[in-house]
Chains A and B, each alone.
Chain A
Amino acid sequence: MTIADQKDGGLLLAIETSCDETSAAVVRGGREVLSNIVSSQIETHRRFGGVVPEIASRKHVESITMIVQEALSEAGVSRRDIDAIAVTQGPGLIGALLVGVVAAKALALALDVPLIGTHHIAGHIYANRLVGEIVYPALALVVSGGHTELVLLPEEGVFRIVGRTRDDAVGEAYDKVARALAFPYPGGPHVDKLARESGEEVVLPRAWLEEGSYDFSFSGLKSAVLAEINRTKMKGLDPSFGGLARGFQNSVVDVVTTKAMRAAAEFGARQLLLCGGVAANQGIRERLAALCREAGLPMLVPPMSLCSDNAAMIGAAADLKWRRGQFSTLDLAAAAQVSLEEWSVTDNVRNVL
């Protein structure tokens, strides 16, 4: 760690536009959230006349300025107080990412402060630092709409992917099963609720993959749900949607939590970090908490507002680079696919990104 202590209290303005949400936040020292404005959640809608968050870049363009303004004023800071601008560089939807990156560059240039291109998944993981102290080595289970990954953090700011989904992310699997169960998009939360309320379970297979693998696969499970629906209908019966939701949920939860706990044990993790939008899923959350308690492994999970896409988490992750003086240049390019491992901090080495 180079210039760690003196800059510990850096005031970062963070921007996140990787997908549906336009978000800006002011975060101090990677831990203290002074404001965290997310387009879908806010009164900004009301106040500024109904901005509907959408994946379309044009919507991000329309809302980015006011969201940044709102983040500053809610934090009670002026532009000139900002020490650096953090922005999601990727992964995400390129057109959406571009809006945030261009806005961030403009701000960094105008305010003459450093720019920190930040990895979206590092953000999800470091959302945990906004709620507690991370102890290394730590194992992160990232479950979101578009991502399902097991990430080992041997030390601060260093990321190693030990497992990932080979087809659908957990969130996608939930939404697709929800489609099969006739819920509207996005139906994941409906399936979670139905599973919890159902008194019966249609037992479905678990995809453990090869011995020792920490990867995931959920497409077979989705097919099993569809096959069961068809089989029942052919018999002229009504499929038990509740039983299927429960069977699906139990299969997902079983595989995801078992693999997370096994990886935590194998890599000697001293803490388990649950993060990503699907961390709201009660089934996963409760089972993982129970397993961690049993194993005596401390678990962190951010509140919902910091689990779904938001800019505060980007500020939290960017602080890793801020403290090390590892900044991006103004030719930073938004990228639909970027490597998390390569985004790791490089202690004592100036990042040339």
Chain B
Amino acid sequence: MNDWSGGGEKAAGAAIYALELRSEADTVRLAEKLAGLCAPGVLIALDGDLGAGKTRFAKAFAAGLHVPGLVNSPTFTIIKEYEGGRLPLYHMDVYRLTIEEADELGLEEYFEGDGVSLVEWASQIEPLLPPERLHIRLELTGAESRLAVIRPRGARYDAWCQALGLRAAEGEGSGDDANR
């Protein structure tokens, strides 16, 4: 059903960037900046443990896209669609899906759609993700502070990371650390 699998896994530069987020305000700023760069077909793959701030990031990202109204958790419904912003936002949480279920949901229609896809717990469905995407892993470093580990896949996202002036993390291309 999907012809993405494996495509581009190691093809791109596999650069890794790290950004320290000292407070929630920093998380919000990063999300808003990324939202400002978005165009149709953008895919942000968001990972991080419970309480790392994925939903907070999503809210700020939605606000950055000028999505009107309330953006809350999609955990139960898996996908929430928001219209009325600069671009449609497809906010997903694939935590409770197996790869098979996710495949049958037809997520590629969203990924190839006119909007922006923000996928929480994306590493769960890594083989189904299109080759071009921006990975962000939020890691807890303190009560308020987080480390955003950012991995661009594809030229568009390489350019984003340049534009944001991100600092490359040590250890280049250590592969897909799809830990949970």
Residues of A within 8 A of B (CB): 19, 54-58, 91-95, 144-146, 164-169, 171-172, 175-176, 179-180, 185-186, 219, 222-223, 226-227, 336-337
Tell me if B81 and A176 are in contact (CB < 8 A): no
User: Which residues of chain A are within 8 angstroms of B95 by Cβ–Cβ distance?
Assistant: 185
User: Which residues of chain A are within 8 angstroms of B104 by Cβ–Cβ distance?
Assistant: 54, 56-58
User: Which residues of chain A are within 8 angstroms of B106 by Cβ–Cβ distance?
Assistant: 57, 95
Closest residue of B by beta carbon distance from A180: B50
Partner of A168, one of B73, B79, B80, B105: B73
Closest residue of A by beta carbon distance from B100: A56
Closest chain-A Cβ to B70's Cβ sits at a distance in Å of 6
User: Which residues of chain A are within 8 angstroms of B56 by Cβ–Cβ distance?
Assistant: 219
Extra contacts, 5 of them, besides A93-B105, A337-B81 (Cβ < 8 A), are A56-B104, A146-B76, A166-B70, A166-B72, A168-B73
Asked whether B7 is an interface residue with its Cβ less than 8 Å from the other chain, the reply is no
**Bound CA–CA A201/B154 (angstroms):** 50
Tell me if A336 and B50 are in contact (CB < 8 A): no
**Bound CA–CA A170/B95 (angstroms):** 17
User: Which residues of chain B are within 8 angstroms of A164 by Cβ–Cβ distance?
Assistant: 70, 72
Tell me if A54 and B101 are in contact (CB < 8 A): yes
Asked whether B160 is an interface residue with its Cβ less than 8 Å from the other chain, the reply is no
Tell me if B79 and A222 are in contact (CB < 8 A): no
Known A166-B70, A222-B51, A226-B50; judge A94-B81 contact (CB<8 A): yes
Partner of A169, one of B72, B97, B143: B72
Tell me if B81 and A167 are in contact (CB < 8 A): no
Tell me if B77 and A92 are in contact (CB < 8 A): yes
Closest chain-A Cβ to B157's Cβ sits at a distance in Å of 27
Tell me if A56 and B75 are in contact (CB < 8 A): no
Partner of B55, one of A168, A175, A226: A168
Partner of B82, one of A58, A179, A222, A337: A337
Partner of B50, one of A54, A93, A146, A176: A176
Closest chain-A Cβ to B80's Cβ sits at a distance in Å of 7
**Bound CA–CA A182/B127 (angstroms):** 26
**Bound CA–CA A223/B51 (angstroms):** 5
Closest chain-B Cβ to A147's Cβ sits at a distance in Å of 8
Tell me if A219 and B76 are in contact (CB < 8 A): no
List 10 interface pairs A-B (beta carbons < 8 Å), by A numbering.
Answer: A56-B104, A57-B104, A57-B105, A164-B70, A169-B76, A171-B76, A219-B51, A222-B50, A227-B51, A336-B81
Query: Which of B72, B78, B80, B106 gathers most chain A CB within 10 Å?
Result: B72
User: Which residues of chain B are within 8 angstroms of A171 by Cβ–Cβ distance?
Assistant: 76
The 3 closest A-B pairs by CB, nearest first: A146-B76, A56-B104, A145-B76
